[in-house]
Structure 1
Amino acid sequence: MASVVLLGVALLVIEGLAEALVPAVSLLAGLGVLVLVARTRTVRLRSLTVLLSVSTVWALLVALFTAGVGRLVGLTTSDDGAPIALAAFIEEPGKLLILLVPALVAPGRMRRLAASDWMLLGYAAGAGFTVAEDFARRISMTAISPWLSLLAELLGTGTSYSLNPLTSGSFQTGVTVPWTGEWGQVMVVGHQVSTMLVASTVGLGMWAWRHAGHRGAGAVTPWWRLVAVGGPAAALAWAVMDHAAYNATVASAGWTQKEGLLLGVVKLVWLAGGMGRGQVVLAVVALGACLVVDAHRRLLAGPLGTLGEGVGVVPELSGLAAPWRAPVRAVVALGVLTWADLTVTAAGYAQPGLTRRARMRAGRRTGRLVMEVRRQAMGVTVPGAEPAARRRWALAALAIAVVVALVCLGVGGALGRVIGPDVIDADDALFFAGLLDSLASWWDSLGLGGQILLTALGVVALMSLGASGALALGAFGVFAWAAEHGHGVADFMRDPRQATIDYLRTVTLGQLLWDVLDFATTFIPGSALGLGARSAARSLEATVALRRNVDDLVELSSLFEQRSVLTAARNDAVDRLRSLLPEGTTMRDFNQRNYKNTLRNLHDAGYRSYDLDRLRQAARTVHQARPRVTRAAEVAGEVGGVQDLTRRGYEIPDAFRPQGLAGKPTGPRRVDMLAVSSDGTSIHVPELKGGTSRLNTGSVPTTFEGDALQGTPAYVRDHLLTDPRVIELFRDNPGIWHGVRSGRIAVTSEVISTPNPFTVLHSHPIDVDLASYPQIIAAIEDKIAALGPP
């Protein structure tokens, strides 16, 4: 509400603000349209709007960097090589570099993104550039003449905005088309479209790389690797050359007559791409491909990609030829799963017997659960063991970013020097230095009241888009600083040496101290921006928690996959043994206890040694396979128990942590696990079950309480007494033992079952009440004393 009131006042008070805000409104609406279309996404809308808002400030920094590079390669901002070559070769990869921050801070989450997530992130990052650039351009035109911006639109030389996210922000102008000599329209897409296209190919390239590593890829593996690397490279090159060619065409269509290898490549790509229009078509194709790839990954995720048994069932399409079955089924899955997601979410809003507000809450909760299913599916279809895979991915992202940046800087600088000032004497206002000058003039014209009003509006608007208060203050603070110091920054960009000399000649001590303080409070950590960064880092805790949950799913999925493999091997071994059974024998005759006697009896009956050897080997294979399956289920139950207890705030001593498939089973008369609550007020001793395992129905003898069933308090008390690890824990932690003995620390138990990777079941907790059994307490005391000091 505050943002609406401030916006209304600002529109009335600040001339030209309504015109300057058109890009932001249109591109936010376009982002909403894409979010509705991308039904496979796993990123939240809030994350996208925060990225868009931060990218507006990032655009300013990239523009300043571009001008600095121009100075290094010998170009001023009025040289045509700067807006034509450097603007394209630095801005296009620069827009994507903002995604490097989450790639390094949260690589686990980034590597598990859906392909459609990359598309949306690319759109948001590029939209911030369009908003920043066109805001400055429009407000600068207003500062010169209130009618200049409107005139540019009427003449068709300005940007156009609509609800279509792929044409909004595009720039068209009429020129004499090169090579044909006819009058026509050439176009450059908005920054958000080119960045969306490149980011989409990054997401698709990651899928192609992983597909190439799949065993089913076979001989086409090198081609998939080539697609994975070449796709994003080609998309970025296309975006850069389209951008450079359009800037050159607006400056002078005669640029096409210049010779040179670099210019020849730019001309060829621009012409083949429809002189700016091809990116829109390719962006639509990339969007569709991202959605289909995401649907394919949900199919690969199996139960983790579904909303429940019987919901969103995708037909097998077994009648299709094998090469076509997977892609066609992925397209079908996109429609089936999208419909299932929408109907399940809608059902959440329509639950009977609830008030309207409760139905809204239930619907939103259902929508979050649907999103979580998609996140799980994306997570379990990403190969690699954590955390090593996460670190490798982050290093690879950093290395690729560095290589791309260096290549673009080198090629852009070389092309800029080739073009130089030869095309026309470009207006300084075409480049960011001129825009900063005009922006500073407009900012000064607002007066103190207008500046305060616009700052408040900017901060509230960023907060309404999802940014924290500190981050909004810091981000808009950078914009305000640039507007306040725009004249000086522009002068410095044109002639750093002379601008520095002039500043030092005229500055007073008080002004110098104020400028230092102003810069420090804007850019140095500890200021509002620094607080915003720390606040953003704290907000990453939720992302880290989500990443851990996904890691848990990946670990459990791997265990259950191994269990499936072992189960299949056991079944094959059983089938082979059954096929070899001599007449008159059963499988029971060849179990581990009986098979030697059975083989001896068969030998005495005259069976050939060859047949006996085959039976012996087949029986031993079965004997080895069965405990492996059992062990895999045990480990899955142990890992599921660890994950569940950790999420509930328990700490598990090292002695009670699972040893994995290669480790030995816990053994008889030992507890499955022991965990201590984080506040030290309770000890939990669960029974852990994995897969289809259940509690034993037979009773076992105890030391002091007769026979007891598994899972009962008497059974748990006896295992605490007979497990040497428990005795060592009590000896090494006398505070815990005294609390248990006195009853101050409660001892509880329950059954935790992990039947599949995404389900954990709990029984009703029971109170073990160890302190009420003095015989057991005394026996534990004796065992602690027998161990001696730690």
Structure 2
Amino acid sequence: MDEQAMLTRDLVLRLCANATELDQGWIDADRKVVAPFTASRDTALIDAIIAGGRALGVDRLLICRTRAEHAYEPVTEVPADVGSLVGVIRGWGNEPTDFLVAVEDLSAAVLVTAGELTVAAGPDDFVREFVGADIARARADFADEARDERDADLVRAAHRYGCLEQGGKHARGARGPGPDLAERVTARAESARTGSPRAVAALRALRGAWGWAMVLVLILAMVFVPGVPGAAPVVLAMLWLLAQLAWLARSRTLSYATLVRMLALGALAAWPIALAELAIAGAVGLPADGLYAYAYVAVPVEEIGKLAPLLLFWLVARRRFKRFAAVDHLLLAAASGAGFHLAEQAVRAVVLADVTDVLAPQIGLLTLLPGWIDVPSAAVRFSGHAVTTGLVGGAIGLAVVGRRQYGAWLWILPPLALGAAALEHLSFNAALVGLDPTPLTAFVFTLYGSGVATRWLLLLLLVLAVIMDYRLARLAAGLTPRLPGRASLAGLTRWAHGRAVRVRVRVPGDIAPVFRRFALAWARIPATLAETAATILHEFAVAAVAASRGPATLCRTWRFLRRRREFAMGAARAEGRPWRRVPSRGVLSETENRLATALGVGPKAAAAMAVAPVAVPVASMAAHPLITGAAPHTGGAYAAMSVRALTDWFGALPADTRPWVWAGAVALTSLLVSGWGLPRAHPSLRHFLRDPRGTVAGFLGALAPGQIPYAVVGLAGLALPKSIDRLLKPGRS
């Protein structure tokens, strides 16, 4: 830029509240990460400023003095090297002064006062060059320093930049709302694990033994009850679908065990939904098994009813919902829909004794989001309740989590998603019972892809939700503990930041605000994508190194990553308001220190914060009956008829077979609601000779049926080479 193009007054008024404080409006504009700190006025600070500029990929910096007497001096643009910056500062004379250094697009700056106080603000990569990898720890240390030294300037800075809360009474602790029901139950369970380890170990062993007993009961039910084996592929298909979504949802804060429990709740919800359908059909004067009830009663009731389990989850875990990532809404909704789909299609498989076509394209380990149903005669595909409900949940998640950052227009998405899900469901039911849709309905459904595009639309929403979650989580880097090891793709991230700065500088300031906001957001997209890729790879690296240390370290790492993401999303969504800090930052920091030591990088070598989920791949074969024509009314086309068909089927069974039906139902429910969590204790065969009973109990507690995939992945990790440690070692970029 031309040196005369901007005066010091113009730059300082944009970025500073006064000569020694940054403007809160500028900080809040892009929700910049801020870190005040104390530093000597020497070349080490200049080196940090240059490193901060290079972290953003810029080769030019703006520098000026901030005091009023220098208001009409020109802002100096200098190359991002130590000699140029030192030359400008020496040209001001020997008297200490306050000065500001900023990047060209004003997205990051460092304010250096005449004393020891310095404030860095901007993207987290920029701030880390000044205070180190753990920004949250640096802010806490500054707060402690200000409190201990009782320096008025430091205390004021600590309050202004959120390192200390206002008021001496609460200065040492974070204020926030009280726990909800789910958090109280979780806290009591954690207290029991700490205070009564033997009793908890016994309960774990009992849970494992009960799980394997339920597997045996389920197998016996499949032997003695005709039709039940046909439901097994549907169960496996829904579990595999949830495993795929959980693995792809890199920013999730929910455990896979929670999703499986929601699946069970969604399946149980089919009964009250069926009762509601019967009541509404009777109220409007339609026969419950009539053609119009399939289309105009079943569709709206089921599409809304499948979201009821989410409402129940909110009632018992309202604080937890405040820490949800956008993708968590998608996962919970998909799990609820998967349970409903399981109830309907399992009934169809049992009652009609459908024989699964093992060559059907929607079957197999490599099937993406299994469970869809084709009606070839009508050229209609129903993607399954898991996909359609997940579509609605994903839209809700984007609106709830992103509305403050990206605008209220996101609330347009949930009605559109609900309409798309209802349209697909309506077209499918109409095709099954032989109803002809209106020309408008048929035209819109054809434009929508006749159900074929729904899975891909769900994946698109999932990707957008993950990117949004990463972006928001990075904005909370000032509060969130770091990740062990060095950051990945540092070079790509620097290039993307530098490109964003160069593009944003060229955006005219006199164009319409809506076009300017769009241009600035467009310039930011490559940097956001690069940050997303970097954090995903960083998380993969942490998990891979942890896997090489054994199942115990791997499970602790998975749990830490998920809880850390939960903390980051809570901090990002709170935007400075009081929030329920569960888990606490102190606990997370302590866990990170232990993990860093176990992974061989140590607390001081831990690198940049990244937020991305590591899920557990679950291997299972998935299958679903293929519908090749119009289904009879007992085919479970909607919940009321499914329940009626199941009741008739149960009534026709011999009396000596019915107990096995109840036993199988109890066994399946037990297997779905327990035994899917990450193991907390990992026994060793080395202790078998000394304590055979305890060792067997330990294995039962860590190897419940749903925990087998964790053990398989953990044991496979032991085969990784030792050279994998280099993924987290500093010194590479």
TM-score, normalization by structure 2: 0.50
Larger Rg: 1
Q: Which has the higher helix share?
A: 1
TM-score, normalization by structure 1: 0.46
* Greater RCO structure (CA 8 Å; 6+ sep): 2
